[in-house]
Amino acid sequence: MFGPKQFDDFTKRVVENLPQGLSEVHEDVRKNIRAALSGAVDRMELVTREEFEVQRGVLERTRAKLESLERKVAELEAQLKDGI
C-alpha cells in the first residue's frame, strides 16, 4: 500500500524532472502532488493486508460452514424423501 515513503519517493522523482527554470516552485509542486496523492488514496478506501487477510479467513470459515450445512440439508431432504 502507499505510505509516506512511497509518496515522498514519487514526488521527489516528479520534482527532479521539472525544468530547472522552475526550481523556485519545486517545493510547492512537491507539497501539492503529495497532498493530491494522499487524498486520492484516502478516497479509495483501501484496506491493509492484515485487514484483508482477516476478512479472507472469515470468508473461508463461512464458506466451509455453508458447505457443511448444505450437505446436512441435502441428507435430511434425502431422508425425508425416503421416508415418504
Per-residue pLDDT of the chain (84 residues; tens, 9 = 90+): 566 677 678 777 877 777 776 667 777 877 788 788 878 877 888 888 899 999 999 999 999 999 999 999 999 999 999 886
Residue 5 is predicted with a pLDDT of: 77
The pLDDT, as a whole number, for residue 54 is: 97
pTM over 0.85: no
Q: Report the Cα 53 to chain-centroid distance in Å.
A: 11
Q: What is residue 9's predicted lDDT score, i.e. its pLDDT?
A: 81
What long-range pairs does 10-19 form, CB within 8 A, spacing at least 24?
10/37, 11/37
Sign of the C-alpha dihedral computed for residues 45, 50, 52 and 55 taken in this order: negative
Residue 37 near residue 7, CB atoms below 8 Å? yes
Question: Can you give the length of the chain in residues?
Answer: 84
Q: What is the pLDDT of residue 69?
A: 97
Give me the pLDDT at residue 50, please: 93
